[in-house]
Chains A and B, each alone.
Chain A
Amino acid sequence: MADIAVRAMAAPPSRLLAGVRRGGARLWVGAALTAILVLAALLAPILAPHNPLEQDLLSAQLPPMWMHGGDGAYILGTDSLGRCVLSRLIYSAQTAVIVALIAASLAALIGVSLGLFAGSFGGWVDQFISRLIDVWMAFPPVLLSIVLAAVIGAGLTSVIVAIVVVDWTRFARVVRAETMVQLTRDYAAAARAIGLNRSKVLRLEILPNLVPLLVTLLAVEMGIAILVEVILSFVGISVAGDTPTWGSMIAEGRQIVYQAPWIMALPIGCIIVSVIGLNLLGDGLRLALDPVQRS
């Protein structure tokens, strides 16, 4: 009888490490930018050199400290009421992060549930949800969220509700299509053959396979949520007037853009960096989580 080599298999490469390697630079850069955003929001009281609401009318519209006429006490200058621009930028990150987290998660929750429902039940349920998505997406999203926020009234909740109501379709559409694809695969048929009921198949088999997709969508949606909050606060129908937000800073900066362009430029920079960070993070995570690379 031939000897059967009994030897331990080489230690499987760590899944985590392999994932991080697949994620590549996008994952790192995206995670770093997102971490900066979240840290700024969490540590705002420590990081901000001034109270963001404190007015100093004697030093209004100061340029950033490295420009001519800048003041070392106000690193990024002051706005027309003499409030510290850097502190306002940092505190604005709080609103952005709260809106991004809550609105994107709720939109995902609703969208994924309805998408799974439509994708797995088919028939009239699918017809109904699909038509609903079509009608929903026929409205221009920006217009719809402005109308919603204005109708519900100012406040953080109304911003979040507006985003969720407008954006659940992004998740529902993709999840519905992907659920249908996954259900035709052999593993789904096998799961049903061994007697799992529909909800178990969805929960234990289908949903885990949707995770890479969902993570990407969620990150992108957070970026969109930040943009919508900016739009609403730019228009003046977001959170209460004295809470600093990037959008309201842009709106204020727009009034004095010739005298103090940095007041408008700085929040725009923050928005672009945050949104790019979240998009990169989403891309990187998808690459990291999905061993089977789909283009």
Chain B
Amino acid sequence: MRWGEIIRRLVLVPPTLFGVAVIVFVLLRVVPGDPISMMIPPGASQADIGRLRALYGLDQPILHQFVSWLGQVVQGNFGRSISVRQDVLDLLLTRLPATIELTLLATLIAVVIGVLAALVGILARGRRAEWAVDGGVGVLLAIPDFLWALILLLLFGVLVPLLPISGRIDPQVEIDFHSNFYLIESLLTGRLDVAAALLRHMILPALALALPFSAIIARLLKASLVEAEDQDYAQIARARGYSRPSILLNEVFPNALIPTVALGGVQVTLLLGGTVLVERIFSYEGIGNMAIDAVINRDFPLIQGLVLTFAVLFIVLNLAVDALVTLLDPRLRHG
């Protein structure tokens, strides 16, 4: 039944993307300011401007532009970036893996910190340590990811210069990768020195993204743990003489995990949105950093490609979370 729901949502994906495309396309062209005015030198003649507009098809009516763009996109051609002058799809495919790797690492860190904090909090329930953990979680949550990025950059990049603060990899490292998933590829091919160099660049931005998210996970999980621990089955297990840590891990934790994944999983999209600024702050070459430049330069084809990419990522993440919840919850799996 639940799987049917997921299939139903998969069917809704194309219309959603179409809607997103229409909104972005129209919005970009209705508001003042266009990419041509960004690229012409002052004093260019009207004829030159007109020729440039015609070159990028901006002189056509919006509907005409949209239909021809959509026709190309369906064939996998996203057009050519106006500001970078490269194929948009190539740009996206080069940059997207960097953002995906960063997001995955951040999620991993957040889950580890969040679960540990929740477990420590529940084990210390009613004692001073619980109060301390709750306070720490509150601080993590109160400061947004981009401020964490700046703070971490100052602390571990400058004050105690432990880690690099710019880019994805040291310029002197030979890059002869087959894919753009540098980290995953270097781990798979056993080039651990390269993986370590990559990780050193990723750890600060990933941590900045992870900290507020880990606080969300810790809060949700701890609330669920508290609720689950007060249920009858946990009390009965206690009465039968099982130790509290064993009950927490084996009985309470699997049940508390379900609402946490369901509610917290959606927040991964928040983390993805956060990459825009955090990548900017650490000069990390992902799609978020590129998005800011694209928006500032009014690079229509690139913005359209980026927005569609983000939309696809959001939809995929939400679906993945739903699938995960279905897998975790036997009632849904067999329902």
Contact = CB atoms under 8 A, between A and B. Distances in A.
A147 B298 CA distance: 10
Most buried by B among A142, A257, A264, A276: A142
B257 interface: no
9 contacts: A138-B314, A142-B273, A146-B291, A146-B295, A150-B298, A231-B146, A235-B296, A250-B150, A261-B158
Contacts of B269: 140
User: Contact size class for B?
Assistant: 20 to 34
Contact of B150 (A153, A237, A264, A276): A264
Given A151-B27, A257-B158, A264-B154, A143 B310 contact: yes
Given A151-B27, A151-B33, A152-B31, A268 B154 contact: yes
A147 B273 contact: no
Contacts of A276: 142
Interface residues of A, number: 30
A152 B165 CA distance: 32
B281 interface: yes
A261 B144 CA distance: 21
B273 A141 contact: yes
A268 B147 contact: yes
Q: Identify the 6 closest CB pairs spanning chains A and B, nearest first.
A: A140-B273, A150-B295, A261-B158, A151-B31, A268-B150, A143-B273
Interface in A122-164: 138, 140-143, 146-147, 150-153
Nearest to A259: B158
B103 to A, nearest CB: 13
Contacts of B292: 146, 235
Given A235-B277, A257-B158, 15 more contacts: A140-B276, A140-B310, A142-B276, A146-B276, A146-B292, A151-B28, A151-B31, A151-B33, A234-B281, A250-B150, A254-B281, A257-B153, A257-B157, A276-B142, A279-B142
Nearest to A147: B295
Q: Which of A138, A147, A153, A271 has the most chain B CB atoms closer than 10 A to its own CB? A: A147
A272 interface: yes
Contacts of A227: 144, 147
Residue from A138, A151, A152, A261 whose CB has the most chain B CB atoms within 10 Å: A151
B159 A261 contact: yes
Interface in A220-243: 227, 231, 234-237
Nearest to B151: A268
Contacts of B153: 254, 257
Interface string B303-333: 0000000100010000000000000000000
B158 A258 contact: yes
A237 B295 CA distance: 10
Contacts of A237: 295-296
Interface in B19-63: 27-28, 31-33
Interface in B118-155: 142-144, 146-147, 150-151, 153-154
Interface string A37-53: 00000000000000000
A150 to B, nearest CB: 4
Given A147-B295, A152-B31, A231-B277, A140 B270 contact: yes
Contacts of B32: 153
A230 to B, nearest CB: 8
A280 to B, nearest CB: 10
Contacts of A265: 154
B259 interface: no
Contacts of A279: 142
